[in-house]
Amino acid sequence: MAGGHCIDLLWCCRCRVVAGGEQRFQLLRRGDVVLDLGAAPGGWTQVAVQATAPKRGQDGAPRVVAVDLKHFDPVEGAAVVVGDFRQAAVRRQLDEALRGRQADVVLSDMAPSFSGTFLADSQQQLRLCHNALKMAELYLRPGGSFATKILRCDGSEDFRSELKHAFDVVKAMKPQSSRPESTEMFLVAKGFKGAKPAQSEQ
């Protein structure tokens, strides 16, 4: 397994970030059910399978479910869904792969096709982060964790504040493979408070 992003996730999974002097972070644990968004070419999926082994639950269901717009090689121990998760038909495929289970962790390494213009690229990335959070709110169990790659930009602190409303603890971590001048970072959130209640019509 190669590539900076894979190393970033492996580091993020293994690191321990002390919060408040007492609480410790661990992103992935053995036995976790993981939903991996923007999974191609499969590096994060491989790390997730390794970190959550055994690869399958007692019912034979893969513990890692990966989805991307692009086709990519199957990853042993993971279920792969190809398509746009905003579409109901694709979400039904995810539901089938999860077999009624809620995710312990939702990961997102989604990235837009970069134009080279920071303002446009960062806002596109931010939209993907919001899409990933919506999926986390749909699929995460209460107490679950969420991690996404984001660029520091106009709106990124607002997104971080949104995470703080939805999770108990939120930490920013700079990827080890990023250049010092890069605005790229991880946002890692733990302790999902549960899906927002539907607002009743007046």
What positions carry a catalytic annotation?
149
Q: Can you say whether the dihedral through the CA atoms of 54, 57, 58, 60 is positive or negative?
A: negative
